Chains A and B, each alone.
Chain A
Amino acid sequence: MEKIMKGFPLSHVIGFVFSLILTFGAAGIALKTDLSFKVIMWIIGSLAIMQAGIQLFMFMHLREGEDGKTNVLNILYGVFMAVVIVAGSIWVLSSGHAH
């Protein structure tokens, strides 16, 4: 909350530039390289998570205010649930005789 008062939105500009780089980087890796599907998915998946982090910390100021810690825990729990739901559903419905 403090450093924002300077007058130039430095962290926003940095965040924006980074997110552009990450977006075009992901598109380039996915569409212009010959890496295997698995490798590409790991790379662009990681880039997506980094970009989500930029939004959360540099634009949404996740940690600011008296409830900053609560917010972080809340998002971590949401991410845990998201992983359980997505990975769990795909695993359960694609193994054994289920598929």
Chain B
Amino acid sequence: MMGIKWNELLITGDPLILGSQIAILLTMIGIVGGITYLKKWRWLWSEWLTTVDHKRIGIMYIIAAVLMFFRGGIDGLMMKAQTARPEMEFLNAQHYNEVFTTHGVIMILFMAMPLLIGIMNVIIPLQIGARDVAFPQLNALSFWLFFSGAMLFNISFVIGGSPDAGWTSYFPLAGKEFSPSIANNYYAIALQIAGIGTLISGINFVVTILKMRTKGMTLMKMPMFTWTSFIASVIIVAAFPILTVALALMTTDRLYGTHFFTVSGGGMDMLWANLFWLWGHPEVYILILPAFGIYSEIFATFSRKSLFGYKSMIFSIVAIAILSMVVWVHHFYTMGSGPAVNSIFSITTMAIAVPTGIKIFNWLFTMRKGRIKMTTPMLWALAFIPCFIIGGVTGVMLGMGAADFQYHNTLFLVAHFHYTIIPGVVFAVFAALYYWWPKMFGFMLNEKIGKWHFWLFVIGFNVTFMPMFFLGLDGAVRRSYTYSVESGFAPLFLLSAIGSAVLALGFAAFCYNIYWSARYADRNISSDPWDARTLEWSTASPVQFYNFAKQPEVTTLDPFWHMKKKNEGLTLKDSEIEEIHMPSNSGLPIFMGAVFSVAGFFLVFEWHIAAVVAAVGIIAGLIIRSFDYDEGYHVKKDEIKKIESTWRNVEGEVHNDVS
């Protein structure tokens, strides 16, 4: 406790960071003042912060992740501004290092993954006809641990300093020897906290999907989004413990002088790369599989056909799940493992293109002879296919060990993974938000603004990243804060920077769409506005807290579509209503999140006694939970009847007046 250097606590001397510090302070005062003025504290606490409702937890994930998207996007724009012209002096080398590090970490771990987990949270229990996830309170804990990790990581650039060793944080650079400040402790500890939350989510979804499907929904009748989320959850359970260990070893190396990844003492720096990618490669499939599921739902709905090749889809995702575990070395071919290792991993890497190709063909055949509706979600899905193929094909190029020595560490690689992750995940998330927005909030996002959003974003994306392929082939390296006039890179870099501005406009259009639709969109819409196929559309919009008054019975794939065709199971008779058991809210998850933040913060600053004291709070939380015998409560029949009558018509049928 004695060695605190107070003058190092707050980062000073950089006008950009000073501006952010003031902005953060003002925003916080604004939020606290606003909630107090509107007297919303009690509402916030009892309706949101202590909720165990999967839909609300999902929405909180989505809100937090969109904010993180904004933060990571600003980082991206700063990089594009810095490299717009040769020899720019907007950011210095150190600041640039920090910005690309936080951009990567935030976009992958605090934007893409929580957005997908948020959507999974809202949709999966609805798609399988369940009333909640298997462990509602653990679900809240997952969210608060993610949030705690995200906040801890985000304060780094104003308090103590931003991590600056890249999102991969390779050793020896990330070790104490070459990064002596506390900045990289943030990486090790914030990711650890968020990672534990993700692991818990994974277990929760595996059990939910295995055990809580409604009557008649066998595994082979599950909607594709549920299937892909299930496999993604399995991969989470298999991969996140590796990250847990890797980060723990990084922490002991940095804080307690062990020699896992150090240059001295017999440590091995490439062991870090090995562990990081043992987790990191499955991680990209954790991102992409739920996104594939989203596209599958959207192609089927808007082609008005059931998904082509359902079984081959499942075969492909299971194959991807297994193969994704045995390709990790392709991230570091140049380490020098020798021809045998590189050859084997080249082969497994190329093999993974096969199941992915099967999926692309299945989507194309789903559209064939379909009656396609060009809605905003469908546009995103259509744009995904060509963009993602560019990403995939360049991936096969990079996957060849011998050729990789040429592309390695250039902007070609950067362009490649942006071409997989942005169409693969970000387009999917936008598609999902447009598609399921009415289910979450009871009104639709505006289609016209949505198309502006779509075109600006897709054009901006291509203009930003396409030039980077050519820059990379010309030898422009990644993570370099500037380049010379003589290199000849200037025109393409400028084009790329202009593209990023268009991309940002697209994101602004999305934010405006949320604002516009929240204010003006029609509230009197059908509970099934897209004429969709799966069970989430068979209940109210926004969904009542118990999801289904009567759990639906399923006999086929695309159950709601068949229920509508046969006009069966759409009504609810008074006699069918029974009391519903629901879990109670709990303040424990948010308490645990807070304690983890505080303990993590102390550990970042290596104030060990304070960290231990704070960690007592974690033990206390576990003990309280062990003695908690709250059994939930029952919703009375009268209340259910009242709620159901607000959205069904007189005969108890699903409300269907499309305006």
Contacts and interface: CB of A to CB of B under 8 A. Distances in A.
Verify whether A and B have any Cβ pair under 8 Å. Answer: yes
Interface of A: 67, 70, 77-78, 81, 84-85, 88-89, 91-93, 95-98
Q: Specify which of B238, B275, B336, B337 lies most central, judged by the most chain A CB atoms within 10 Å of its CB.
A: B337
Contacts of B341: 91-92, 95-96, 98
A88 B341 CA distance: 10
Given A89-B274, A93-B274, A81 B325 contact: yes
B359 to A, nearest CB: 22
B238 A70 contact: no
15 contacts: A67-B210, A81-B325, A84-B325, A85-B278, A88-B278, A88-B326, A89-B278, A92-B329, A92-B337, A93-B270, A95-B340, A97-B337, A98-B335, A98-B337, A98-B341
B271 A93 contact: yes
B338 interface: yes
B273 to A, nearest CB: 9
Given A77-B238, A97-B336, A98-B338, A92 B274 contact: yes
Q: Specify which of A70, A84, A85, A92 lies most central, judged by the most chain B CB atoms within 10 Å of its CB.
A: A92
Given A92-B337, A95-B338, A97-B336, A85 B326 contact: no
A97 B337 CA distance: 6
Interface in B311-338: 325-326, 328-329, 335-338
A96 B335 CA distance: 9
Contacts of B338: 95-98
Nearest to B345: A92
Given A98-B270, A98-B335, A98-B337, 18 more contacts: A67-B211, A77-B238, A81-B238, A81-B325, A84-B326, A88-B328, A89-B278, A92-B329, A93-B271, A95-B338, A95-B340, A96-B336, A96-B339, A96-B340, A96-B341, A97-B337, A97-B338, A98-B341
A67 B268 CA distance: 42
B242 interface: yes
4 nearest CB pairs, A to B: A96-B338, A97-B336, A96-B337, A98-B337
Nearest to B326: A84
A97 B271 CA distance: 14
Interface residues of B, number: 22
Contacts of A81: 238, 325
Contacts of B340: 95-96
Contacts of B335: 98
Interface string B259-289: 0000000001011001100100000000000
A88 B340 CA distance: 13
A36 to B, nearest CB: 25
Given A84-B325, A88-B326, A89-B274, A95 B238 contact: no
A88 B337 CA distance: 12
Contacts of A96: 336-341
Interface in B526-574: none
Interface of B: 210-211, 234, 238, 242, 268, 270-271, 274-275, 278, 325-326, 328-329, 335-341
Contacts of B337: 92-93, 95-98
A70 B210 CA distance: 9
A78 B234 CA distance: 11
B249 to A, nearest CB: 13
Contacts of B234: 77
Contacts of A67: 210-211
A42 B339 CA distance: 28
A85 to B, nearest CB: 6
Contacts of B238: 77-78, 81
A96 B345 CA distance: 14
Contacts of A97: 336-338
B262 to A, nearest CB: 15
Contacts of B268: 93
A37 B336 CA distance: 29
A89 B341 CA distance: 11
A92 B341 CA distance: 6
Contacts of A92: 274, 329, 337, 341
Nearest to A99: B268
Q: Specify which of A89, A95, A97, A98 lies most central, judged by the most chain B CB atoms within 10 Å of its CB.
A: A98
A88 B328 CA distance: 10
Nearest to B245: A85
Contacts of A91: 341
A44 B266 CA distance: 28
A93 B337 CA distance: 7
Nearest to B328: A88
Contacts of A93: 268, 270-271, 274, 337
B271 to A, nearest CB: 6
A89 B335 CA distance: 13
B356 to A, nearest CB: 21
A93 B274 CA distance: 8
A99 to B, nearest CB: 8
Nearest to B321: A77
Contacts of A95: 337-338, 340-341
Contacts of B339: 96
Contacts of A85: 242, 278
A13 to B, nearest CB: 32
A89 B276 CA distance: 11
A95 B335 CA distance: 11
Nearest to B338: A96
A92 B278 CA distance: 12
A98 B336 contact: yes
Q: Specify which of B242, B271, B274, B340 lies most central, judged by the most chain A CB atoms within 10 Å of its CB.
A: B274
A95 B337 CA distance: 5
B326 to A, nearest CB: 6
Nearest to B211: A67
A29 to B, nearest CB: 30
B368 to A, nearest CB: 36
A92 B271 CA distance: 9
A55 B337 CA distance: 38
Contacts of B278: 85, 88-89
A21 B268 CA distance: 38
B8 to A, nearest CB: 36
Q: Specify which of A70, A85, A91, A97 lies most central, judged by the most chain B CB atoms within 10 Å of its CB.
A: A85
A77 B325 CA distance: 11
Contacts of B336: 96-98
Contacts of B275: 89
A88 B329 CA distance: 10
A77 B206 CA distance: 14
